């Protein structure tokens, strides 16, 4: 089992008119994943990284139950505290987006 506590990484995708989309895993994620990796993220540190990266908004595609299973149920309030807009657009497993 490996421990996943390294720095929160945001990959960037440049888009039309100078926009940038950041891509990252779930902030604040905690618990074991299917590969046996133990995630022990800090929601506050991860959201601070998102804020410092310059994000005006976050779009999440996971369901509320997945957020709870990832111990990331406080995502909405953590983003709100940093004045980052949250767009929750859940996609159920094996369903079309």
Alpha carbons 8 and 49: distance in angstroms, whole number: 7
Q: What domains appear along the chain, each with residue ranges and CATH number?
A: 3-88 (3.90.190.10)
Q: What is the pTM of this model?
A: 0.88
Determine phi and psi for 80, rounding to 5 degrees: -60, -40
Can you give the pLDDT at residue 95?
86
Burial label for 22, CB within 10 Å (0-12, 13-18, 19+), is: middle
3-state secondary structure of 26: coil
Q: Cα–Cα–Cα angle for 58, 38, 67, nearest 5°?
A: 35
Write out pLDDT tens, residues 38-60: 999 999 999 999 999 999 999 99
Partnered with residue 52 across adjacent β-strands are none
Which residue reads 């720095």 in tokens? Answer: 7
* Residue-level pLDDT, tens digit, the chain, 97 residues: 445 668 899 999 999 999 999 999 999 999 988 888 899 999 999 999 999 999 999 999 999 999 999 999 999 999 999 999 999 999 998 888 7
């Amino acid at each position: 089992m490996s421990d996943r506590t390294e720095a929160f990484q945001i990959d960037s995708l440049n888009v039309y008119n100078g926009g940038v989309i950041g891509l990252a895993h779930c902030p604040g994620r905690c618990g074991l994943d299917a590969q046996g990796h133990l995630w022990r993220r800090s929601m506050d540190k991860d959201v601070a990284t998102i804020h410092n990266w310059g994000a005006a908004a976050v779009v999440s595609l996971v369901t509320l139950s997945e957020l709870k299973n990832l111990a990331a149920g406080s995502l909405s309030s953590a983003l709100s505290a940093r004045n980052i807009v949250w767009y929750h657009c859940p996609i159920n497993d094996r369903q079309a987006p």
